[in-house]
Amino acid sequence: MIGTPEQISKYLWQLDKDKQYEIKEYKEKRSNKANAYFWELLGKLCFEMNLDTIQEYKKRVKELGVFRHWEIEKENVETFKKMWSDKGIAWFIDIVDIETNGKIPINAYYGSSSYNKKQMAKLIDGVVQDCQAIGIETKSPEEINSLFESEK
């Protein structure tokens, strides 16, 4: 059920008391079509410019700056790096400073599959501009906006 706290509280008495429930803020999910379109354009751009697609993707993810900062014990950095990168291609870490008190400061970047609409729109906007600059045809702004409609 999705609703306001007042609407939800009316139904709490109906819940099975032997079960546990989680209540969290509802956030509308974006469509996977937006991520697919980004990859389509990135592939065309990299082909035309003779760029490595994965490296270009990581560069764009890093420039967008969607990451979490942590300080990890030196001996755990490689394990964390492996676990983080197992989530996907652009889930990577950067060591951002020197070791202090046995801990290494890192930025752990999230891949675009986890982006919200606003983050994904910025990522797509950048690749659209770069494609248009070299003559690769892109969708109209209206068509791109329609990619963000949630899939029900």
| pTM for this prediction | 0.73
Residue 51 CA: distances (Å) to CA of 55, 93, 108, 136: 8, 21, 24, 15
Mean pLDDT calculated for residue range 22-39: 74
> Which DSSP letter does residue 100 get?
B
pLDDT at 134 exceeding the cut of 90: yes
Render pLDDT for 81-97 as a digit per residue (tens, 0 to 9): 999 999 988 899 999 88
Mean pLDDT of 51-80: 94
Q: What are the residue ranges spanned by the domains of the chain?
A: 30-146
Checking if the pLDDT of 99 tops 50, the result is yes
pLDDT average, residue stretch 102-116: 91
- What torsion, rounded to 10 degrees, do the Cα atoms 80, 82, 88, 90 define? 70
What pLDDT does residue 98 have? 83
* Rounded Cα–Cα distance for residues 94 and 109 (Å): 8
DSSP 38-76: HHHHHHHHHHHHT--HHHHHHHHHHHHT-EEEEEEEGGG
